[in-house]
A and B are shown apart, each in its own frame.
Chain A
Amino acid sequence: MDGPPISARRVRALVKKEFHQIARDPSSILIAVIIPLLLLFIFGYGLSLDSHDLRLGVVLESSDTEARDFGAALTGSDYFVVDTGHDIREFSDRLRDGHLRGIVVIPEDFAVRLTDPGKGPAIQIISDGSEPQLAAFVENYVKGAFRVWLRQRQIESGRVMPPALQIEQRFRYNPSLRSRNFLIPGSIAVIMTVVGALLTALVVAREWERGTMEALLASPVTRAELVIGKFIPYFFLGLGSFTVCLLLAILVFRVPLVGSLPALYAVTCLFLLTALGLGLTISAATKDQFVAAQIALNAAFLPAFILSGFVFEIKSMPMWIQVITFFIPARYFVDSLKTLFLAGDVWSILLPDMLLLSLTTIIFLALTARNMARRLD
């Protein structure tokens, strides 16, 4: 019964109707523009994996030149905001209250210990183990600062020649090592998942709720026309939404875009089709806008957030969870976006991603086509 070919006139009529509705019903614009802006600002400003200005207490038990010199080195670091004292008791309460992230003790015999390792460690680092990640930061940064200071001292005293072979550490693909540079592209992927799935899930459920779907089904419209009539308008709305995110990322968050725009849009188009397909699949399962929104958030937002490699590194997940991530389309989009923003058009990464995205698109389209009832039972 769905045999007759797709009628361009009917599709055009459906698309036109949808655009009228988008223009007049603020909720589509809300989903397509306001939600992305909100999420992008939350992710952009609220979520940062860099640590700056860690509060540190430095206990100078010794007052000789070496100790004061190292204390000054810590104070000068960007990573720390240092309070200096002479007794560890001054700081222990503040560490407990969380005002300090760590305490560094420079012992009385610091100078002696420096020359004679047999006397024990030169410095003691006390950090807040209730926040292991921060504690590790403190430890590593202080250690690093100590090593740098030692080397500097040796060079100055002329005991060691500057090494002939100098190691210069350079990070490629995110030279400034700003976490925002990979978080923003990742969050765009999450946002597009939510926007795409929510848009279509809601608009189809809305047609059921208002009884208009019943009227459409009683007209000669075919299933394919209904699906296409929903895809086209929300595809363009989704692209608009993506463009807003892209402009914000580049102009406001100053994320460098290394790759090319055509490649970026090609991947995005593919992903949008998948996300819209997911939304349509959801809408076929429920005829209630509220339920549709709940499902869309749980089926789209959470996996995209947790399992896409956006924040949490997939390679460090347990094996069985890694297997699950292969079924999360957002994973491929996050991967492509990070590559495009930070590394450029690396086709050896992009092509497999695009292939897999095409596959998920086809799967969701097939599911939609199968589940989108042409009848009511």
Chain B
Amino acid sequence: MPEKPILEIEGLCKSFPGLDHRALEPVDAEVPPGRIMGLVGPDGAGKTTLLRLAAGLLTPEAGSVRVLGLDPLRDAARARELTGYMPQKFGLYEDLTVMENLDLYADLRGLTGEARDERFETVLHFSELKPFSGRRAGALSGGMKQKLGLACALLSRPKLLLLDEPSVGVDPVSRRELWRMVHELIQEGIGVVWSTAYLDEAELCDQVVLLSGGRMLYNGPPRELAERVRERCFRISGITTGRRRLLTRLLDREEVVDGVIEGANLRIVLREPDERTMLESEAGEKSGTVHPVEPRFEDAFVDLLGGAPPGTSALAEKIEEKRHGEDARVVEARELTKRFGDFTATRAVSFGVRAGEIFGLLGPNGAGKSTTFKMMCGLLKPSSGEALVSGTSLSHAPGEARQKVGYMAQKFSLYGMLNARQNLEFFSGVYGLRGKARRKRVDEMIELFGLADYLGQSSEKLPLGIKQRLALACAVMHTPDILFLDEPTSGVDPVTRREFWSHINGLVRKGVTIMVTTHFMDEAEYCDRIGLMFRGDMIAIDTPHALKESVVSKDLEKPTLEDAFIELIQRWRDRKEVA
């Protein structure tokens, strides 16, 4: 006998004034007890809107939501008792201690007496926060904040748990622990909705609702979606040189739906399984070998969206080849330390980036990536150590050195009130382009990035993907030798991300040096080398492949980059304890 669902959603949709499309097109979904529903999609897909509707924080435009048969708006009082909701940023008061946060939410939820003590005992034990109960929430690490947020949402023993991007930017160890905790919870029969922009998390859910631009693309078990690309997924390994060139060529072919770099290998999705021979002959030229692999959720998502864009970057074609001496170190960090008060954001971070290389800084929020980055760009002065770009320090180098550098910041440093053309013109002016050269360059960018249709729109209203193209256009307009990218593709859909990386791959082939920060593991796979950062320390630097190899053991024969990160964090901790 099927159990009564905890959450029922029927034809639910929602629009907001000032938005030309619906934030949420009609959605139908059900969460049975003891199940995790993944709400998967890029930023702006409608995930938060759906969760807020379920939490009774928004009124539906049409359709209905039921929490154990209750309307979250009309039966608000009772529905709220049954619902635990953890908003983005976890809804914690940073000035309050762990215990005070718990006290507050317990009082608000009417948890008193013995039941309260018991419940505190349970959630503190469960979240392993007991030793930190007197610490202010603001002083907790990202992972601990996330656990506290969860603990607060769990206080009233909810039947339905709504989690809005609980794992974004959290270190992989904490992310795994959170999944373990949620799996324990569903044993008790509660229903969980977990929203995420990480596609690999979809595979951990019992059931997935895939959203994109407000539309529901899929609703069902994640395995079933992956089935649509079964027999069409392959890995090419053993490529000697030029894996980027090979990827570009493959992506330009009709038969290829999707392709990404995975460390030293390529992962390719074909339109038809029998096109493998083509793949083999292409790979053979680079002495690569082709093996079939298990389909992933992301492969299927890209397939569902119509496949990745062609691999040739019109931008890169336009750029002159940059020539460097062999092994020239164009970016170098020497023992970079940055302290803010008594907080050390980075501790003696050192690395070097060779010309024409993609170097990635990978780590959770608060690891010190952005701080390192800002020091490299001369936006922050190191407390000690040196940051060198092309042999000079940007913090006291004149404009000349900056002229060689392009910078694209987290959330795209565009002027929201200016339209696309004005942004292009502004940035071209900033980089010293004048008169005819400037007009020519702006027109070129408009053509290369296909921005013609969006020129008059204020950039804050542009769709995320277009915004990203515009931001990249602004950053490369002056043909820099070095490009700094700070979390360039967090939260964008996989197709847009591939388009972005096709430009980056093209630029690298022309000899441009790229330095990128990210908290996406699969983005890190695109890099030639990555530096793993954790709590202000650089814990390892190597190629993605070598990092994975370094943690191979009997229990872990084929580690992912995330496995490697977790293991390396563990080793770093052990080292610290010895020291």
Q: Give residues in A with beta carbon < 8 Å to B.
A: 1, 4, 7, 9-10, 12-14, 16-17, 20-21, 24-25, 210-212, 214-221, 375-377
Chain A residues with CB under 8 A of B16: 377
Contact, CB under 8 Å: B76 / A376: no
Selected contact of A219 from candidates B58, B74, B92, B105, CB within 8 Å: B105
Q: Give residues in B with beta carbon < 8 Å to A.
A: 16, 52, 55-59, 73-74, 76-77, 80-81, 83, 85-96, 100, 103-105, 107-110, 112, 136, 152
Chain B residues with CB under 8 A of A21: 93, 95-96
CA distance A7 to B77 in the complex (A): 13
Task: For B91, give the chain A residue with the smallest CB separation.
Answer: A215
Q: How far does the Cβ of A342 sit from chain B's closest Cβ, in whole Å?
A: 42
Query: With contacts A1-B76, A215-B85, A220-B110 known, is A376 near B57, CB below 8 A?
Result: yes
Q: Is the interface of B mostly helix, strand, loop or mixed?
A: mixed
Q: List 12 A-B contacts (CB under 8 A).
A: A1-B74, A1-B76, A10-B108, A21-B96, A24-B95, A211-B87, A211-B89, A214-B85, A218-B87, A219-B80, A219-B105, A377-B58
Q: How far does the Cβ of A253 sit from chain B's closest Cβ, in whole Å?
A: 35
Chain B residues with CB under 8 A of A25: 95
Beyond known contacts A1-B73, A210-B93, A212-B93: 12 more, CB 8 A cutoff: A1-B74, A7-B110, A9-B112, A10-B110, A16-B104, A210-B94, A215-B92, A215-B152, A218-B56, A218-B87, A220-B81, A375-B59
CA distance A218 to B55 in the complex (A): 6
Task: For A7, give the chain B residue with the smallest CB separation.
Answer: B110
Q: How far does the Cβ of B313 sit from chain A's closest Cβ, in whole Å?
A: 38
Contact, CB under 8 Å: A212 / B92: yes
CA distance A212 to B91 in the complex (A): 4
Chain B residues with CB under 8 A of A4: 77
CA distance A25 to B108 in the complex (A): 22
Interchain residue pairs A-B with the least CB separation, the first 4: A215-B91, A13-B107, A211-B89, A218-B85
Task: For B107, give the chain A residue with the smallest CB separation.
Answer: A13
Selected contact of A17 from candidates B52, B88, B93, B109, CB within 8 Å: B93
Contact, CB under 8 Å: A220 / B91: no
CA distance A377 to B96 in the complex (A): 28
**Which of B16, B57, B108, B136 has the most CB atoms of chain A within a 10 A radius of its CB?**
B108
Q: How far does the Cβ of A280 sit from chain B's closest Cβ, in whole Å?
A: 19
Contact, CB under 8 Å: B87 / A219: no
Query: With contacts A4-B77, A13-B107, A218-B80 known, is A211 near B88, CB below 8 A?
Result: yes
Chain A residues with CB under 8 A of B93: 17, 20-21, 210, 212
Contact, CB under 8 Å: B91 / A13: no
Chain A residues with CB under 8 A of B109: 219-220
Chain B residues with CB under 8 A of A1: 73-74, 76-77
Task: For B96, give the chain A residue with the smallest CB separation.
Answer: A20
Chain A residues with CB under 8 A of B91: 211-212, 214-216, 218
Query: With contacts A220-B110, A377-B16 known, is A20 near B85, CB below 8 A?
Result: no
Contact, CB under 8 Å: A20 / B95: yes
Chain B residues with CB under 8 A of A218: 55-57, 80, 83, 85, 87, 91
CA distance A17 to B97 in the complex (A): 10
**Which of A212, A214, A218, A375 has the most CB atoms of chain B within a 10 A radius of its CB?**
A218
Task: For B97, give the chain A residue with the smallest CB separation.
Answer: A20
CA distance A376 to B49 in the complex (A): 10
CA distance A20 to B138 in the complex (A): 14
Task: For A377, give the chain B residue with the smallest CB separation.
Answer: B58
Contact, CB under 8 Å: B108 / A221: yes
Contact, CB under 8 Å: B80 / A220: yes
Chain A residues with CB under 8 A of B88: 211
Contact, CB under 8 Å: B83 / A17: no
Q: How far does the Cβ of A348 sit from chain B's closest Cβ, in whole Å?
A: 47
Q: How far does the Cβ of A225 sit from chain B's closest Cβ, in whole Å?
A: 9
Chain B residues with CB under 8 A of A17: 93, 96, 100, 104
Task: For A1, give the chain B residue with the smallest CB separation.
Answer: B76
